[in-house]
Amino acid sequence: MAIRLPDGATIAIATVYGTAKAVSTITNAAPGVLTSAAHGLQNGTFFELKSGWQKISERIWKAANIAANTIEVAGSDTTDTNRFPTGASLGLLREIITWVPIPQVLSIETQGGEQQFWSGSFLEDDFDRQLPTTSSAQSITLGIGDDPTLPGYQALKAAGEKREVRALRVNLPDGSVILYNGYVSFNETPTLTKGQVMQVNATFSLQGRPVRY
């Protein structure tokens, strides 16, 4: 058993991406290996993946065991051909080139992600049944100490104005990483509470599940 504190964690937003590269196939393996001609990525690079395989799509992954035209999608498991049908994996990848730190984070709150259920009964039943369906939409809200001069503030504002999907990286003190991918909304109107730090909020509306390394 292990428990950890987030104290000392740092956060960054992706601001510069490489040109989108076509993904022709991904193998059914653990980890899956994707083929993308002349992709140009390096080992350890993070990239956004869009794929016909919904369960690994719209997420941020790390490249490993690089070859000229192939990339190991570190941490993925696409062995189940029912969930990852052969021939349906083509898509696009974008290398993340630049991360901009977001300092002065006061709070991180998550919303949503709860399991949803169908409930009902057959005519002959005297009790309801329950089946799990989807999880509710999930978002992350960062409370940030107000300082419009900071590059992180400016990056969040620009992404919010363009309604762009951006990657968010949380670097934990033990060296592990949590990666999110979502639309950015930014409220640049600061709180004005006497005796309290002025704060603005940025929200990431997630498009896929987080990935952890």
CATH code of 76's domain: 2.40.30.180
Q: Return mean pLDDT, the chain.
A: 94
pLDDT of residue 36: 94
- pLDDT tens string 92-113: 999 999 999 999 999 999 999 9
Domain count, the chain: 2
pLDDT band at residue 87 using 50, 70 and 90 as cut-offs: confident
Shared domain for 183 and 93, answered yes or no, is no
Shared domain for 88 and 177, answered yes or no, is no
Shared domain for 106 and 93, answered yes or no, is no
- pLDDT tens string 59-81: 999 999 999 999 999 999 999 99
- The structure tokens listed for 7 are 């104290």
| CA–CA separation, 66 and 41 (whole Å) | 7
Strands (E) across 8-90 are located at 10-17, 21-23, 25-26, 33-35, 46-51, 59-64, 70-74
Shared domain for 86 and 154, answered yes or no, is no
- The structure tokens listed for 134 are 């989807």
207 belongs to a structural domain: yes
Q: Looking at 35-183, list the stretches that DSSP marks H as alpha helix, in order from N- to C-terminal side.
A: 151-162
CA-nearest of 203, 208, 200 to 185 is: 203
Shared domain for 50 and 68, answered yes or no, is yes
CB-based contacts of 96: which residues, under 8 Å, 6+ apart? 14, 16, 17, 18, 45, 46, 47, 48, 60, 167
178 belongs to a structural domain: yes
Domain that holds residue 200: 101-114+134-212
Q: Which of 97, 123, 154 is the last residue in one of the domains?
A: 97
Shared domain for 90 and 105, answered yes or no, is no
Shared domain for 107 and 199, answered yes or no, is yes
79 belongs to a structural domain: yes
Strands (E) across 136-210 are located at 139-145, 165-171, 177-187, 199-206
CA-nearest of 144, 148, 156 to 191 is: 144
Please report the sign of the dihedral spanned by the C-alpha atoms of residue 156, residue 158, residue 161, residue 164.
Answer: negative
Average pLDDT of 180-202? 96
- pLDDT tens string 115-160: 999 999 999 989 999 999 999 999 999 999 999 999 999 999 999 9
121 belongs to a structural domain: no
Shared domain for 93 and 164, answered yes or no, is no
Shared domain for 54 and 83, answered yes or no, is yes
pLDDT of residue 4: 86
pTM here is 0.92
